[in-house]
Amino acid sequence: METSADAPPQTFYDGVKARFAEARDVRLGYRPEGTAQYTSDLTGALAKYEIDPHADDGAARAPIADTVECLFIGGGFSALLTAARLRERGVESIRIVERGADVGGTWYWNRYPGAACDVPAVDYLPLLDEMDYVPERLYAKGPEIFAHCQAIARRYDLYDLAVFRTTVISTTWDETERLWRIGTDRGDAMKARFVICANGTLSKPKLSKIAGMETFAGDSFHSSRWDYAFTGEDLCGLADKVVGIIGTGASAVQAIPRLARAAKELYVFQRTPSSIDFRNDRPTDPDWVARLKPGWQQARRMKHMRGREQDAAKRAELAALSREEKILRQENANIDHMMRIHRRIEEIVEDPATAEALKPWYMFMCKRPCFDDEYLPAYNRPNVHLVDTGGKGITRINARGPVFEGREYPLDVLIYATGFEVQRTGIYNEIRGRDGREINQTYADGLRTLFGVHTHGYPNLFIMGGYQASFQFNLTFMLQTQGDHIAECIAYARDHGHAEIDVSPHTEEWWVNEVIAHRGKTSRNQDCTPGYYNFEGQFNRRQDGNYNGGFLQYYTHMQAVRNELDAHFVFA
């Protein structure tokens, strides 16, 4: 984002910033309870929102009581990428224990119409070198990504020992046997030398707590549990139906254009608009593919991570600025970007009031940005109605549908696109390390990890995708980085005949301080409109979040630690 020479006066930027603050305060004022406004306790009347629509009844099976070397809790990309590296290092005994009926994680569950990834497929789809695969288009759609996950599992023989439709509920370190004991909801009593928590960051669907929601008489489901039995595979079942969708985050933005085309009427209940930029999807250039050399994806990823060196003149110019000037520059450029997003809405959406309501009033990246060419035009259809709640959200639902400002919206089907619980380690799972200490107890005064992966007192346990790790828009690259690291740690322990690998307290303390040093440098988190990026506006300890020192730094630190494993870990 660059500021142009004919930029507006500073008073313009100050005015926009004030408007951002106003929008945040309005939204926060309605839901001051932060993350408590949601529930992910999907039991009782809400249990149906978590039922897997993709699995059959799941034949009963005898409980398993065996021992494997590496056990993954979860079968999404975290598990697949790490398991691939373990296989390359000769580890044979690998088990995935997965709640769904197949591997794929996010891409197993999220099959809503239009599901696709916003990161270019050549970057997002992992192991393309190893799988000898080049995606056909710039952006991969859900089914292609899910199929890629299955192909990885087949290629690395991960189906053999995998256990599906099974949820790990306890993971307990056995001091005598120096193994983890894993209990599941199917009565299994498995044991594993190494356990990798690969259960994802946004895996458990959450619902906004809305008065009367359990009384709704029509069909209703969460976006990650799409009810194709009701909608029909091609949504043809909606042709005579009035459909409502709550939420306008990344899931809803992809589903809404398809719903708009299929439904008789569509009501979109919006609390905060997303920023929508162009997508411009296109086929992969065959000439580019023809020029690819073996190892191209890894080379491309490393090039991206290192970034382009800033030229000397630019570096000198930046160095001459004070901290305040740098922040001001960044903020103004960010506002310029958001004003372009606003102009795009004005150009596409015909009804001025609808266009106005769709404008996001917050800094770019306060919320997950969206990229879609069909979302905004959907509002020009006569059957699509935006119900803008001005930051309040839907707070009441009756048997017929949502009620807002005294008006009832009768619906045949209501879709909750209200997102996912952000989790730190095990979601359904209690983890007890040395002395039976539960991991949340260990984290009671703040997260304590090395790289978000290791915690002292939890030997042979590795956590993927959690906090205190670097945040990457291209999540699979981050997960691959962690997977490579974990596989090397495990291989080192095995090769040296060690039964245990535990991070040293000293190294863990170093990393916690590293995380703290890079967090809370700006007021960005407090200034942003609430969402899961900033813990819904709640206060958060500086160590309880992502490592903000940059991905290259994260990667470099990991490599440095791996070069001296004996100095940073206690082996036994």
C-alpha span between 186 and 119 (Å, rounded): 37
Binds ligand NDP (CB under 6 A): choice among 251, 455, 476, 548: 251
C-alpha span between 360 and 272 (Å, rounded): 7
Q: Are 422 and 202 in contact (CB under 8 A)?
A: yes
With binding defined as CB under 6 A, does residue 468 bind ligand NDP? no
**Tokens standing for residue 429:** 């799972």
Q: How far is the CB of 59 from ligand NDP (least distance, A)?
A: 31
With binding defined as CB under 6 A, does residue 98 bind ligand NDP? no
Residues from 351 through 410 that contact ligand NDP (CB under 6 A): 368, 393-394
Dihedral, 276, 278, 284, 289 alpha carbons, nearest 10: -90
- Please choose, from the candidates 164, 201, 116, the residue with its C-alpha nearest in 3D space to the C-alpha of residue 419: 201
Pattern 210-249, binding to ligand NDP, x per CB under 6 A? x------------x----------------------xxxx
Per-residue burial over 201-228, b = 16 or more CB atoms within 10 Å of its CB, e = otherwise: bbbbbbbbebeebeebebbbbbbbbbbb
Size of the site for ligand NDP (CB under 6 A): 28
| Helix, strand, coil percent content, the chain, rounded in steps of 5 | 40, 15, 45
Residues from 257 through 316 that contact ligand NDP (CB under 6 A): 269, 271-272
With binding defined as CB under 6 A, does residue 250 bind ligand NDP? yes
With binding defined as CB under 6 A, does residue 528 bind ligand NDP? no
With binding defined as CB under 6 A, does residue 543 bind ligand NDP? no
Q: Are 186 and 97 in contact (CB under 8 A)?
A: no
Q: Are 98 and 78 in contact (CB under 8 A)?
A: no
With binding defined as CB under 6 A, does residue 531 bind ligand NDP? yes
Q: How far is the CB of 188 from ligand NDP (least distance, A)?
A: 30
C-alpha span between 280 and 261 (Å, rounded): 20
CA angle 129, 203, 74 (to 5 degrees): 60
Q: How far is the CB of 408 from ligand NDP (least distance, A)?
A: 15
Q: How far apart are the first and last CA of the chain?
A: 51
With binding defined as CB under 6 A, does residue 417 bind ligand NDP? yes
Pattern 173-212, binding to ligand NDP, x per CB under 6 A? -----------------------------x-----x-x--
Which range, of 2-10, 179-187, 278-286, 412-420, touches ligand NDP by CB under 6 A? 412-420
| Between 271 and 359, CB nearer to ligand NDP | 271
Residues from 107 through 136 that contact ligand NDP (CB under 6 A): 116-118
Judged by the rule CB under 6 A, the positions of this chain that interact with ligand NDP are 27, 116-118, 202, 208, 210, 223, 246-252, 254, 269, 271-272, 368, 393-394, 417-420, 531-532
